[in-house]
């Protein structure tokens, strides 16, 4: 009989210390003894990646992206080796590999590389020898043999891509919560675990800040129809299935609330109100690889206007420098930054067919005296930028108003 293959990914919090690495090893061995073939993907221990970034910034605030990838990939190399040792200690054969060793080939976009192909020979060979295969998440190698990383949270992507490439029977993402909740359970303890969620809703949630899954990993899962099971590494209960379609008698209007504190708002003041100015500003930003999210242009007065937009906090300084460089050409006077903002979003496929959702959202914020600074919408979400100090209160109020609380 052909053995079933399971991909199991363990996030940083699941391997934050020796005890937790041993806990993961015990779970892996239990599955191995049940007769499964296992490929285990691991993230760096606890907050290692953040600590490495901090270390780099102490030396150079603007480090080379190639060297950054060299540095960050070491985090995962530590955890795979330790997990292999912990599994050996339990008397089971296991072998660890870096992304480069197992042939995860990416493009050359350091710190956010895309996977081009995966050569599975080495993994297959080790599986055939009966070994548990442990792969370092979040990393690959480009055609120049340089190590690359796949963007923050990229171990999720490693797991999903391996599940697709190895035609795995299951892809399990183990984390420090019991699954996908109606909102971050650390912000709202009344949040409910969702049994099953569609790729589209999960992708929207991930893109809007629900850190629990990396958005790019969901894009790949959706494209190749890889079902994902998100569950706790500390409990045995089943978690949340992320799948193509969830059959419900009637669509709930709002299925989740998300919170993102990772953005900054940049305001370009007193821009001349004439054709071509916005194009100039945003082309300059694009040429400098700053991705812009929400954009709002204020009502013009005296043929001048303010344009505000949001960027990832990491890109805020780059955005400001870029606009300052183009200041004279564009005719801009001042550029302001506000990092004390948060994006609150409501997500739900049911929104498409239910009017009045936006009004209800704004009313909840108004009742709590929370000012909305920017608004944006998609087919299945509405987002508001508010001051950061109100973020948690807004999430809890919306969670309750849209009937999501336990
Ligand atoms: P890992 O280290 O396993 O990759 P992450 O920290 O990346 O874990 O993601 C898990 C965290 O995501 C949880 O601890 C939780 O606080 C947060 N989170 C945010 N939104 C949600 C949500 N809707 N459902 C579950 N967890 C969420
Ligand atoms: N260690 C990497 C990060 O912190 C990748 C991951 O955890 O998925 O972003
Ligand atoms: Mg993660």
Q: Is 243 in the pocket of ligand 2 (CB under 6 A)?
A: no
User: 153 CB contacts (<8 Å, ≥6 apart)?
Assistant: 211, 213, 214, 217
Q: What is the pLDDT of residues 7-45, one digit of tens each?
A: 999 999 999 999 999 999 999 999 999 999 999 999 999
Q: Is 77 in the pocket of ligand 2 (CB under 6 A)?
A: no
Average pLDDT taken over every residue of the chain: 95
Q: Is 179 in the pocket of ligand 2 (CB under 6 A)?
A: no
Q: Give distance in angstroms: CA of 31 to centre of ligand 3.
A: 22
Q: Is 155 in the pocket of ligand 2 (CB under 6 A)?
A: yes
Sign of CA dihedral 276, 279, 284, 285: positive
Residues of each domain in the chain carrying CATH 3.30.70.260: 263-338
Using CA atoms, how far residue 140 sits from 113, 115, 149, 159, in Å, is 8, 8, 6, 13
pLDDT at 192: 97
Q: Which atom of ligand 1 is nearest to the CA of 173?
A: 3
Q: What is the mean pLDDT of residues 299-311?
A: 86
Identify the residue whose C-alpha is closest to ligand 1 atom 9: 212
Q: Closest ligand to 182 CA? A: 1
Q: Which atom of ligand 2 is nearest to the CA of 157?
A: 8
In CATH, the architecture of 256-260+341-401 is 2-Layer Sandwich (3.30)
Q: What is the mean pLDDT of residues 68-89?
A: 98
Mutate to test the pocket of ligand 2, among 54, 150, 152 (most ligand atoms within 8 A of CB): 152
pLDDT at 367: 97
Q: Is 44 in the pocket of ligand 2 (CB under 6 A)?
A: yes
Half-sphere exposure of 115 (CA within 13 A, CB side): 29
Residues of each domain in the chain carrying CATH 3.30.2130.10: 256-260+341-401
Residues of each domain in the chain carrying CATH 3.40.1160.10: 5-176
Q: What is the mean pLDDT of residues 141-162?
A: 98
Q: Give distance in angstroms: CA of 257 to centre of ligand 2.
A: 23
SS (H, E, C) the chain: CCCCEEEEEECHHHHCCHHHHHHHHHHHHHHHHCCCEEEEEECCCCCHHHHHHHHHHHHCCCCCHHHHHHHHHHHHHHHHHHHHHHHHHCCCCEEEECCCCCCEEECCCCCCCCEEEECCHHHHHHHHCCCEEEEECCEEEECCCCEEECCCCCHHHHHHHHHHHCCCCEEEEEECCCCCECCCCCCCCCCCECCEEEHHHHHHHHHCCCCCCCHHHHHHHHHHCCCEEEEECCCCCCCEEEECCCCCCCCCCCCEEEEECCEEEEEEEEEECCCCHHHHHHHHHHHCCCCEEEEEECCCECCEEEEEEEEEHHHHHHHHHHHHHHHHHHCCCCEEEECCEEEEEEECHHHHHCCCHHHHHHHHHHHCCCCCCEEEEECCEEEEEEEHHHHHHHHHHHHHHCCCCC
Q: Is 12 in the pocket of ligand 2 (CB under 6 A)?
A: yes
Identify the residue whose C-alpha is closest to ligand 1 atom 10: 212
Q: What is the mean pLDDT of residues 153-168?
A: 98
Q: Which atom of ligand 1 is nearest to the CA of 187?
A: 16
Residue 51 has pLDDT above 90, yes or no: yes
Q: Give distance in angstroms: CA of 100 to centre of ligand 1.
A: 27
pLDDT at 329: 79
Q: Closest ligand to 150 CA? A: 2
pLDDT at 332: 82
Q: What is the mean pLDDT of residues 111-115?
A: 96
Ligand 1 surroundings by CB, under 6 angstroms: 11-14, 43, 153, 175-177, 180-181, 183-186, 210-212, 256
User: 265 CB contacts (<8 Å, ≥6 apart)?
Assistant: 308, 309, 310, 337, 338, 339, 341, 373, 374, 385
Per the CB < 8 A criterion, the answer to whether 46 and 16 are in contact is yes
Residue 107 has pLDDT above 80, yes or no: yes
pLDDT at 150: 98
pLDDT at 275: 87
Q: What is the mean pLDDT of residues 325-352?
A: 90
Lowest mean pLDDT among 33-42, 218-227, 276-285: 276-285
Percent of the chain residues topping a pLDDT of 90: 86
Per the CB < 8 A criterion, the answer to whether 150 and 113 are in contact is yes
Q: What is the pLDDT of residues 356-385, one digit of tens each?
A: 999 999 999 999 999 999 999 999 999 999
In CATH, the architecture of 263-338 is 2-Layer Sandwich (3.30)
Identify the residue whose C-alpha is closest to ligand 2 atom 6: 153
Residue 251 has pLDDT above 80, yes or no: no
Q: Give distance in angstroms: CA of 15 to centre of ligand 2.
A: 12
What's the CA gap between 397 and 381, in Å, rounded? 17
Q: Is 153 in the pocket of ligand 2 (CB under 6 A)?
A: yes
User: 61 CB contacts (<8 Å, ≥6 apart)?
Assistant: none
Q: What is the mean pLDDT of residues 52-65?
A: 95
Q: What is the mean pLDDT of residues 316-339?
A: 89
Identify the residue whose C-alpha is closest to ligand 2 atom 9: 152
Q: What is the mean pLDDT of residues 250-273?
A: 91
Per the CB < 8 A criterion, the answer to whether 27 and 15 are in contact is no
CATH code, residues 5-176: 3.40.1160.10
User: 194 CB contacts (<8 Å, ≥6 apart)?
Assistant: 179, 180, 181, 182, 240, 255, 256
Percent of the chain residues topping a pLDDT of 70: 99
Q: What is the mean pLDDT of residues 327-338?
A: 86
Residue 98 has pLDDT above 80, yes or no: yes
- Chain centre to alpha carbon of residue 158: 13
Residue 301 has pLDDT above 90, yes or no: no
Q: Is 57 exposed, middle or buried (0-12, 13-18, 19+ CB in 10 A)?
A: exposed
pLDDT at 1: 67
Per the CB < 8 A criterion, the answer to whether 242 and 197 are in contact is yes
Neighbours of ion ligand 3 (CB under 5 A): 11, 153
Q: Is 174 in the pocket of ligand 2 (CB under 6 A)?
A: no
Q: Give distance in angstroms: CA of 300 to centre of ligand 2.
A: 43
Beta bridge partners of 96: 134
Identify the residue whose C-alpha is closest to ligand 2 atom 5: 153
Residue 352 has pLDDT above 70, yes or no: yes
Which pLDDT band, with edges at 50, 70 and 90, does 293 fall under?
A: very high
Q: Closest ligand to 155 CA? A: 2
Q: Closest ligand to 13 CA? A: 1
Q: Give distance in angstroms: CA of 304 to centre of ligand 2.
A: 44
């Amino acid at each position: 009989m052909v053995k079933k293959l399971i991909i199991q990914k363990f996030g940083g919090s699941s391997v934050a210390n020796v005890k937790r690495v041993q806990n993961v090893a015990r779970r892996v061995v239990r599955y191995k003894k049940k007769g499964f073939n296992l490929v285990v993907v691991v993230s760096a221990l606890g907050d290692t990646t953040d600590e490495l970034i901090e270390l780099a910034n102490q030396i150079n605030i603007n480090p080379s992206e190639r060297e950054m990838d060299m540095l960050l990939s070491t985090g995962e190399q530590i955890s795979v080796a330790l997990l292999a040792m912990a599994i050996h200690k339990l008397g089971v054969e296991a072998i660890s590999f870096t992304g480069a060793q197992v042939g995860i080939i990416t493009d050359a976009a350091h710190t956010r590389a895309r996977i081009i192909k995966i050569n599975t020979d080495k993994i297959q060979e080790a599986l055939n020898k009966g070994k548990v295969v442990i792969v370092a998440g979040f990393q690959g190698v480009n055609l120049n043999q340089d190590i690359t990383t796949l963007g923050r949270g990229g171990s999720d992507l490693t797991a999903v891509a391996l599940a697709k490439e190895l035609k795995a029977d299951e892809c399990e993402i183990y984390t420090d919560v019991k699954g996908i909740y109606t909102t971050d359970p650390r912000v709202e303890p009344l949040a409910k675990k969702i049994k099953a969620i569609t790729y589209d809703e999960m992708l929207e949630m991930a893109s809007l800040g629900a850190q629990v899954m990396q958005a790019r990993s969901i894009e790949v899962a959706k494209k190749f129809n890889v079902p994902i099971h998100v569950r706790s590494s500390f409990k045995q209960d089943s978690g949340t299935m992320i799948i193509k379609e969830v059959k419900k008698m009637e669509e709930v209007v709002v299925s989740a609330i998300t919170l993102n504190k990772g953005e900054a708002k940049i305001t370009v003041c007193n821009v001349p109100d004439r054709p071509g100015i916005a194009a100039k500003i945003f082309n300059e930003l694009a040429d400098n690889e700053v991705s812009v999210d929400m954009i709002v242009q204020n009502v013009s007065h005296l043929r001048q206007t303010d344009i505000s937009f949001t960027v990832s906090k990491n890109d805020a300084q780059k955005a400001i420098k870029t606009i300052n460089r183009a200041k004279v050409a564009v005719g801009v006077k001042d550029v302001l930054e506000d990092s004390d903002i948060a994006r609150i979003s409501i997500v739900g496929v049911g929104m498409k067919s239910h009017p009045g959702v936006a009004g209800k959202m704004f009313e909840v914020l108004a009742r709590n005296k929370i000012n909305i600074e920017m608004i944006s919408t998609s087919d299945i979400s509405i987002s508001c930028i508010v001051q950061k100090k109100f973020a948690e209160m807004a999430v809890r109020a919306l969670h309750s108003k849209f009937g999501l609380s336990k």
